[in-house]
Amino acid sequence: MKSRRNSALEEASVDMSPMIDMTFLLLIFFIVNMNFTKETGIEVKRPTAATSEAKTGDVIMVGISSAGTIHMNGKRIDLSNVRPTVSQARNKTPKAALVVVADEAVRTGLLTRVIDECKLAGAEDISIATGNGNL
């Protein structure tokens, strides 16, 4: 005769499938809701400003290095190509803000020409990236 106690111990087990499913659902949730930082692809020392604010939402980034080279989407572009490149980016995301990430050593004339080309491409919400700090 089999003992009731032994058969009860042999049948007791925990099904881990629901826990594994929940773990994968949480992993997918966090991956989907993760914020990715956009970078220009160049190293710049941004000027500081006491009134810096972070931009949220879609952003088009244009970078200007200390040597005066212009970069967008990780590629080097000429000043003459800023307008068509920004225009193409605006066609993909029309409501995106445009942020110019310029090194603090960039000449004002070049920065002004880049911003002017961006305006001629139809960009309206243009900002210059700064670091946090006191003036």
Give residue 36's identity as a one-letter amino acid code. F
pLDDT per residue over 43-55, tens digit each? 666 666 666 677 6
List of the chain residues with pLDDT < 50: 134-135
Please give the Cα distance from 31 to 16 (Å, whole number): 23
Please give the Cα distance from 130 to 109 (Å, whole number): 18
Cα-Cα-Cα-Cα torsion 114, 118, 121, 126, nearest 10 degrees, comes to -170
pLDDT on residue 134? 42
Domains annotated on the chain, with CATH: 48-132 (3.30.420.270)
Q: Which residues pair with 101 in a beta bridge?
A: 63
**Is the pTM for the entire model greater than 0.85?**
no
